[in-house]
Amino acid sequence: MAKKYEIFIEMEQHLLNDEKPSQYLRHLAGNRWFLETYPFTLLGDLRKIEQSPVHHPEGSVWKHTLLVVDLAAEGRQLSENPRIFMWSALLHDLGKAHTTRIRRGKITAYDHDKHGAVLAAAFLKEFTDDDEFTRKVSQMVRWHMQILFVVKQLPFADIDNMVQEVSPNEIALLSLCDRLGRGDMTENTRLTELENTKYFLQKCQRHQRDTGTGSLSHLRI
């Protein structure tokens, strides 16, 4: 347990301080002990999970996660709580290991946000008794797909319940890193994702105004 906890502390320090935490994480992923020791296995398993080449030309969920973590590191100073934000970025797609399927010739990962929330909590509970921290990271993972759902007007969009658990600004920041953390990103694609983020925040602002639950500050990214 002592070694596991030491690695957890090391991971946190790199997540909070490195310009590119992916360099340390790649090093960890080359360690057999790390890959075979729970709960680090939850991260190691992502190396084997492929994604749709249309939406994720970078390849596996692990490669995507590394891109997201580095983008999150660039914007962590914008977060209300960098510790929660960076752990959310690292753990956001844990659920894909359990939900990825080939359906009608396409790679899908339906409900990976919900499954991932459970797995993120299980991961963190191995190292900390800070239930509030664990809960908040889990909630960030749970709601990280909301920008896509809201923009595409999918039935999974649920601003009402989301705003009761997380800050829309924090979800917007995490989701933007998630959406940009893909291979072959073009400037037009980046601009589109920024516009989608603004649209999402506007929808959240209108919801809060209509329900009397307060107003939002603008996302600074």
- Domain boundaries, given as residue ranges, for the chain: 2-211
Q: Under a CB-based contact definition with an 8 Å cutoff, are residues 128 and 134 in contact?
A: yes
What is the spatial distance between Cα 206 and Cα 122, in angstroms, rounded to a whole number? 35
The three-state DSSP-derived secondary structure of 104-138 is CCEEECCCHHHHHHHHHHHHHHCCCCCHHHHHHHH
* pLDDT digit string, tens, across residues 173-184: 999 999 999 988
What is the spatial distance between Cα 142 and Cα 133, in angstroms, rounded to a whole number? 14
CATH of 2-211, one of 1.10.3210, 3.40.50, 3.30.160, 3.30.420: 1.10.3210
Q: What is the pTM of this model?
A: 0.95
Angle 93-155-179 from CA coordinates, rounded to 5°:
35
Q: pLDDT-derived band of residue 209, with 50, 70 and 90 as boundaries?
A: confident
Adjacent-strand bridge partners of 108: 101
* pLDDT digit string, tens, across residues 121-169: 999 999 999 999 999 999 999 999 999 999 999 999 999 999 999 999 9
